[in-house]
Amino acid sequence: MDNTEVTAASGNSAKSGVIVWTPAMTNMMLGFLADLVAKGKRTSSGFREAHHRQCAAVLNEQFKLAVTGEQVRNHLKKWRKIWGRVVILKNLSGALWDENTCTIRLAEEHCAGHCMARKADAPFLNTPIEHYHAMATIFGTTAASGMNARSGNDLLSIDVEDEENGEVNTSPNVAESSHPKGPPKKKAKVVKVLQDPLVTTLNYGFKLVADALVNYGDDDD
């Protein structure tokens, strides 16, 4: 995994400039955002632009830079992708998770064969995963409860901001509309109810008994 990354704002890059993310800067950024999540300050839809600006201000104070909120957001996207890769690799057949060292352990022969086909996975296998706990806090938190609950490994739970502010909200309850007068009408939801086989059998039995009683009454007449 690279220790540095060059990031520019996706908008007016001439104004925002280009910065090189060092491990110390990344550690502070992820730590700051993980702390927001731990304190319950992140909204249900994710981080807001104000959170990105606050994080940028902390970075600028510490490292004497001119990081923007947009650059924080762009750098966060890199780590979101890394988290997605980690989640997939943790579920590899034969992989073991070492909680003490935050390492995905794979037999050497298996690992060599896997990395030969997927070289990009090599930095995440049989080596401690940097910033794992911060990523788990930021991207692996539960996004809902009850029937709509998502597990900590569900990648749909890592939405951070709505599309209007330059990010994507992956909530399944969000619909897009191009109609200027309001949102589209919701279609009625049809639910198919499957009857229990035991109930079906009992109902059939009751019907046979009822028919027999009717026939018996007819014979008496």
Tens-place pLDDT, residues 88-134: 999 999 999 999 999 999 999 999 999 999 999 999 999 999 999 99
Most confident of 9-23, 107-121, 184-198: 107-121
State the helix-helix crossing angle for 132-139 and 23-38, rounded to 10 degrees. Answer: 40
pLDDT score of 157 more than 90: no
pLDDT at 54: 97
CA 28 to chain centre: 22
Closest Cα to residue 141, out of 152, 125, 149, 155? 152
The percent of residues above 70 in pLDDT, for the chain, comes to 56
Q: What total number of domains does the chain contain?
A: 1
pLDDT digits (tens, 9 = 90+) for 159-186: 333 333 333 333 333 233 333 444 454 4
Is 13 part of a structural domain of the chain? no
Please compute the mean of the pLDDT values over residues 17-45 and round it to a whole number: 91
Domain of 38 in residue numbering reads as 23-141
156, part of any domain: no
Q: In the predicted model, what is the mean pLDDT of residues 71-90? A: 95
| Residue 219 backbone dihedrals phi, psi, to 5 degrees | -65, -35
* Within a domain: 8: no
Residues with Cβ within 8 Å of 5's Cβ and at least 6 positions away in sequence, in order, are 20, 21, 26, 75, 78
Which one, of 119, 113, 94, lies nearest residue 105 by Cα? 94
Please tell me the pTM assigned to this model: 0.60
